[in-house]
Structures are given as C-alpha cells and as structure tokens.
Amino acid sequence: MEHVELIVKPSEHKLRLEDFLCDRFRRISRMHLRELLRDEKCEVNGRIENAGKRLRSNDFVEIDIDLTREHSMLPQDIPIDIVHEDDDLIVVNKPAGMLVHPTHRDKNGTLLNALGFHLNKTNAEGFIRPGLIHRLDKETSGLMIIAKNSRSHRLLALQFYRKTVEKKYVALVEGKVEGDTKTIDMPIGRFAEERRWGLKDDGKPSVTNLKVLERNSETTLVKLEPITGRTNQLRIHCAAIGHPIIGDIARGGREFERLCLHAFSLLFRHPTTGNEVVLKSAQPKWF
C-alpha cells in the first residue's frame, strides 16, 4: 500500500468522492476503490468520508492504495460479442468459461481485460474504465451491462438496487420438472468455513421464478427469473427442488462441456434517455 495525497482541482468541484477517485485512478477497478472507502482508507481534509461526499476545489484527499492493482485493468485484444453499444453503456454476450474480472490468481483473459482494449482502442481522451454493475459466474454465459462513465454507472446501479431491471435466464436441468410454473422461496447464505454458498436458515431472503419451456426424456428446459440476486442463487435453487442444472457437478448435475445456464434477456431504462431497453442474446448450442 502507498500513501497518496491529492488536491481537488477547480474542474473537479462538486464531484462525488468515489467518482473523483475513479477519475484519478483510471486503471484501478471501481470495486477496489469502494473497498478502500468502506475500510476507511481515505480521508478528505483529515476526516473519513463516504463515497457520496461532494468535494470542493482545493480539498485535500489522502488515500492508502495498492497501485499494483493497475495491472488488473490491463487492456487485452480479446474478441467479445457486442449486443449493443452507445456513449453511455455497452452490453455484451459473455461466453461460458470467461471470468468477469481479474482475481489475485487470474489477471488475464477476463471480460474487463477485453473491454479495456475495446473501449480504448480508438479513444484519445484518456482511459475509459469499464464499469461493472452486475456479474455472471465464470461458467455462466449471457448478457451483461457495463457502464462507460461514472454517471451511467451510478444510474444503472440504482436500477439494480431498486430491482427494476428484469434479468431472465434459460437453464437445462436434470429430470422432469412437475408443474409449469413455480416460485422458489428459500434463504441463501454463506458457509464461511466451507467457503461456499447454499440454503441457510439464517440466510438472506432469496426468490426465483421458474417456468417450464420444454420437457425431454431426462431433462427439462426452464426459464428462470431471479427476483433477488444472491450468489449462485439459480444453481442453489434448482438443486434445492431436486433439479440441478446440467454441468453443475458440485450440486448433483451431470458432467457436461459447460454449465447449461445462460442469461438471455435484459430489460432496463437507459440512463440518459430514460427509454425502456429490451435486449436478447443468441441461443447457445445446447438449447
């Protein structure tokens, strides 16, 4: 960690502290900067402040930060499937097997590395930071929204927080699911010692709507709509009703070339126009 001291410029007057840090440390993930703010590693004029603090010209900002984190945003020329792009956001169809963001173990080949290259290959005005708003597991494919500026990130994140974004998935599960529709309402929590997520009596409320699309001899194609957004929620809920997702070996699914879970539809409001946007992705071959 390095101790960095910064002075707020007149052009940065009234910026939120989080946005100020994102602009000053463009190659460090917003997630890491938020962690530093949460852990009280940043002061403004000698006082701990939250992410929404509005700064004034000549404010004195101090932060303890790991500048080696810049390497995790290294742009890499990796092909990505772009479903929609404009000045405020980009929606991509993430393939199965790709990490969304770098980790301590894997710093290359992630979606953020690919976006860092794509968003900046023709940009001469400074580094555009890909702003993650939601995530998909490495094994899950499908649609993801990424913000291209701080304002869009904040407004889109607010929609996710208020649960006004509609996300729909398709999954191929084991066995024949009885009934055409069902609501799975089971709390999910983290088992710290085992480092896993699962059903837990004192977990957070977790709700998934399921609709049968097609029944086969040994499997069922279902549409899943998570009302809440817990870690591994769809995998856990499908396994809990006795129909684990194909490829989810840890929860009883058979071995397969990939996890048969795909985010195929997104509905949200555009952060600038306010218009409703509905996007759908191509179907994976296992459909």
Q: Which amino acids are annotated catalytic?
A: 137
Closest CA to 259 of 234, 242, 278: 234
Core vs surface per residue 186-195: b (16+ CB within 10 A) or e: bebbbeeeee
